[in-house]
Amino acid sequence: MKKENEKERLRRFLREMLLIRRFEEKSAELYSAMKIRGFLHLYIGEEAVAVGVMEALTPEDAVVATYREHGQALARGMSPNAIMAEMYGKQEGCSRGRGGSMHLFDAATRFYGGNAIVGGGMPLSLGLAQADKMQGKARVTCCFFGDGAVAEGEFHESMNLASLWKLPVLFICENNLYAMGTAIRYTQAVQDLASKGAGYGVQSSSVDGMDVEAVEDAARKAAEYVRQGNGPYFLECRTYRFRPHSMFDTELYRGKDEVEEWKKRDPISLLSQRLKDEGLFSDQEMASMERDVAGEIEAAVAFAEAGTWEPVQDLTRFVYSEKRAS
Amino acid sequence: MSEQDTRRATTYREAMREAIREALLNDERVFLMGEDVGHYGGCYAVSKGLLAEFGPERIRDTPLSESAFVGAGIGAALGGMRPIVEIMTINFSLLAIDQILNNAATILHMSGGQFNVPLVIRMATGAGRQLAAQHAHSLEGWYAHIPGLRVVSPATLEDARGMLATALREPDPVIIFEHNTLYNLEGTLPENAGPVDIDSARVRRTGSDLTIITYSASLFKSLEAAESLAREGIEAEVIDLRSLRPLDDATYLASIAKTHRALIVDEGWRSGSIAAEISARIMEQGFYDLDLPVMRLCSAEVPIPYARHMEEAALPQVASIIAAAKRMVAHG
C-alpha cells in the first residue's frame, strides 16, 4: 500500500514536470509563430525545483516568483489556460494580459507575481511573511530567486531582516550558474551560495536541483522549519537551464558540451528512468502521460486562441483601485 | 465659545505624532516601521514615545535597508496590514525607489487589478536647515510623475494632523512629504481635529491681482510675501496644492480666471519639475485667462549647498517671491 502511494506521488511529480516541459516547448514554438511576444524565459531543465518546492507548500502559503516563472506558476497549480492566455496578451490571462510571461499573478493561489527586477521580490516576501506573523497565521512565504539575485543588495538586506525578525520566509535560490549570460565564476567571490546564509544566521543548505525527490525532501524539511516559527530558511537548488536565457540569446557564453553534460541529468529523464527501473512505470504509461499532457496543452492553446483582447478603453483601469474608502 | 471652537496649541511634529498614535489605536493592522522610529524616537522626533506605548511589534526599528523595509511594507500591505513606512529623508528614498516604482505603484495594474497596495510612506523633504546636498532636495515632483501613487504634501497643522488617517484608508500607495523646516511650526488645532481630504488644493489667502501656486514650506514664504505685497496694494491669492498627484487643476484654474496672472513657487529644480507640469496644464486649460506668461520660481539648479547664505540663495525666498509678483503685476 505504501509502495502504491509512493508510486502515485512520483508519477505526479513526473507529470507536473512533463507538463512544464511540454508547455514551454509549445511556448517557444508559439513565440516563433509570433503568438507570444516580449521576453520569454524558459525554465526547461529546472522543472524539478518548482515541482519539488511547491510540494512542500500548503494552499494558504504565499509564493513570490521570478521572471522565469512559468514552471513555478504551473507547479503552484495555476491554470495552464490562464497562463497561456496571459502570454498571448488576452484578457482571459491570469493578469488580464497586462503582465505577459514575466508577470504572472494569481490571487487564488496566492501567487504574488513574476518579478522581473532581479531580487526585487525578496523584500515583498518579507512583508508578506511579516503580515502573517503579525496576524498569527502559521503560513510560509516562499520566495524564488536566482543566483544573479545573490549579487543584489536586496538579497543581503532581505536575509538580514528576515533573520532579525524571524520571519517565516522560505528562500529558494535557483542556482542555474548563469546570471543571464555571465557565469557565476565571473560574478560571485564566494560561489558556494548556501554558505552565505551563515553570515545572517539563516539556516541554509543546498540540494541537487535536478533530482525532484531530493528537492521535495529538502524543501519539506525547510518549510517545516519555517512553519514552526524558527525564522527563515535558505535553500539553494543547484540546477541548470537547458535553453538560452531568452529567445534573443545566442549562447555565446557557454559550450554545447557543457549543456549536453547537464542534459544527462535531465530531471524528467532521471525520474522516469528510475520509475522504469523499479518497475513502477511502463513505456505505455509514459506514452499515455505524454498524450494526456499534450491534450492539456492543446486545450490551453485553444483557450488562449479563443481569448479576447481587453478593450483599449480599459487601458487606465487599475492604475488606482476602483473603490476608494472602505 | 462652543466646544467645537475650542482650540489647543500644538506643533506640526505633535500633530503628526497624534495622527500616527490615533491610527495605531484605531486599527490593529497599522504599524510603523523605519530607521530610528523606535528607540531613538524618530530622526525628527515625530514618533517619540510611541515605542513605549505600542511596543516593538508595532513600532519597528529597521536596519539601514531602505529597499528591504520599503519592500516589506509593500508585502505587508499585500498581506492585509496597513503599514506606515518612514524613510528618514527624501534623498535616502532613492535607495528604495525600485520598490516604490516597480512594485508599489505597478502591481495593481500589472496583476490585472488583483493586488492593491494600501501602503503609506512618510518622509522628510526639503532644504533650509543647512543639511547640504544629500539630505535636502525636493524630489516630490519625481514621485508625482508616477501613475499608481498618490503624493501629498501637508503644509498646515490641520493637514499634518488629518492627512494620514485619510491616506491609511486609501487602497493604493500614498506618499506623505513632510518638509523638515515645518516640524517646529506652532499653532492651534481644534480639539476635534480629524481626517481631511487628500485630493484637493486650498485657497489659503484670497486676492485679485495674481495667483501664487505653491505647496509645503513655500506656502508660508508665499503667504508672508502676500502680506507684504498687500501693503503695497497688490492682492495675491495663495493656493496650497496639498496633493501633487492627483493635481487639483480646477482650484488653480478658477483662481487664474479671476486674477489672470499665475506665479508658481516650487522648491524643486525647475527643469522637469512639478512647476513645469502645472505651467503646462495652465497653458492647456487656462491660456486665454492669462494676461502674461506663467512665471516659475524654483530652486536654483544646483545641489543644495551647506553654507547658509548659499543655501538661501538656492531657494525661493520671500524677497524673490515679492519681486516676481511685482514684475508680473507691472508688466501685465
Task: Write out the three cell numbers for A117.
Answer: 527586477
Distance from CA of B6 to the nearest CA of A (A): 29
Task: Write out the three cell numbers for B140.
Answer: 516630490
CATH number for the domain spanning B215: value is: 3.40.50.920
Q: What is the pLDDT of residues B177-218, one digit of tens each?
A: 999 999 999 999 999 999 999 999 999 999 999 999 999 999
The answer, yes or no, to whether residue A3 has pLDDT greater than 90, is no
- The region, left, alpha or beta by phi > 0 then psi within -120 to 50, assigned to residue B289 is alpha
Q: What is the pLDDT of residues A179-189, one digit of tens each?
A: 999 999 999 99
Indicate yes or no: CB of B57 within 8 angstroms of CB of A134.
Answer: yes
- The region, left, alpha or beta by phi > 0 then psi within -120 to 50, assigned to residue A113 is left
* Chain A, nearest residue to B74 by Cα: A124
Q: Which pLDDT score, from 0 to 100, does residue B331 have? A: 83
From chain A, pick out residues whose CB is under 8 angstroms from the CB of B80: 131, 135
Q: Which pLDDT score, from 0 to 100, does residue B2 have? A: 55
Which strands make up the sheet holding A111-114, listed edge to edge? Answer: A111-114, A62-65, A141-146, A169-175, A233-238, A203-208
Best B110, B120, B175 member to test A by mutation, with max A CBs in 10 Å, is B110
Residue B66 bears catalytic tag: yes
For chains A and B, CB pairs below 8 A equal 156
Q: Which pLDDT score, from 0 to 100, does residue A113 have? A: 94
Cβ atoms < 10 Å from Cβ of A168? 30
Indicate yes or no: CB of B112 within 8 angstroms of CB of A94.
Answer: yes
Task: Tell me what ipTM this predicted complex has.
Answer: 0.95
Indicate yes or no: CB of A158 within 8 angstroms of CB of B68.
Answer: yes
Contact map slice: B 143-202 vs A, CB within 8 A: 147-148, 150, 166, 169-172
Give the domain-ending residue among B125, B159, B190.
B190
Q: Which pLDDT score, from 0 to 100, does residue B1 have? A: 46
pLDDT band at A2 (very low <50, low <70, confident <90, very high): low
Q: Domain range holding B148?
A: 7-190
Alpha helix positions (H), B170-288: 218-231, 249-259, 274-286
Three-class secondary structure of residue B245 per DSSP: strand
Give the domain-ending residue among B159, B190, B221.
B190
Residues B277 and B151 both lie in one domain: no
Give residues with Cβ within 8 angstroms of B144, minimum separation 6.
Answer: B151, B244, B245, B247, B274, B277
The single residue of B135, B137, B179, B260 carrying the catalytic annotation is B135
Structural domains counted in chain A: 1
The answer, yes or no, to whether residue A4 has pLDDT greater than 60, is no
Of residues A92, A88, A115, A111, the one with CA closest to residue A102:
A115
Distance CA B82, CA B87 (A): 16
pLDDT band at B9 (very low <50, low <70, confident <90, very high): very high
Q: Does B72 touch chain A (CB under 8 A)?
A: yes
Distance from CA of B100 to the nearest CA of A (A): 11
From chain B, pick out residues whose CB is under 8 angstroms from the CB of A321: 108, 116, 171-172
The single residue of B35, B66, B86, B140 carrying the catalytic annotation is B66
Residues B80 and B151 both lie in one domain: yes
Nearest to A127 among B75, B111, B166 (CB): B75
DSSP letters along A129-144, please? HHHHHHTT----EEEE
Task: Write out the three cell numbers for A258.
Answer: 557543457
Distance CA A9, CA B195 (A): 56
For residue B200, the Cα-to-chain-centroid distance in whole angstroms is 13
Portion of chain A with pLDDT greater than 90, in percent: 94
Indicate yes or no: CB of A135 within 8 angstroms of CB of B80.
Answer: yes
The answer to whether position B195 is within a domain reads: no
Q: Does B127 touch chain A (CB under 8 A)?
A: no
CATH number for the domain spanning A46: value is: 3.40.50.970
Indicate yes or no: CB of B31 within 8 angstroms of CB of A98.
Answer: no
Q: What is the pLDDT of residues A101-138, one digit of tens each?
A: 999 999 999 999 999 999 999 999 999 999 999 999 99
Residue B135 bears catalytic tag: yes
Residues B95 and B226 both lie in one domain: no
Three-class secondary structure of residue B179 per DSSP: strand
Give the domain-ending residue among B169, B190, B211.
B190
CATH number for the domain spanning B130: value is: 3.40.50.970
Indicate yes or no: CB of A124 within 8 angstroms of CB of B110.
Answer: no
- Predicted structure pTM score: 0.96
Distance from CA of A65 to the nearest CA of B (A): 13
List, in sequence order, every residue forming a beta bridge with A203; answer none if it has no partner.
A233
User: How deeply is A322 buried, as exposed, middle or buried, from its count of CB atoms within 10 A (0-12, 13-18, 19+)?
Assistant: exposed
List, in sequence order, every residue forming a beta bridge with B83; answer none if it has no partner.
B31
Of residues A23, A41, A229, the one with CA closest to residue A136:
A229
Q: Domain range holding A130?
A: 2-303
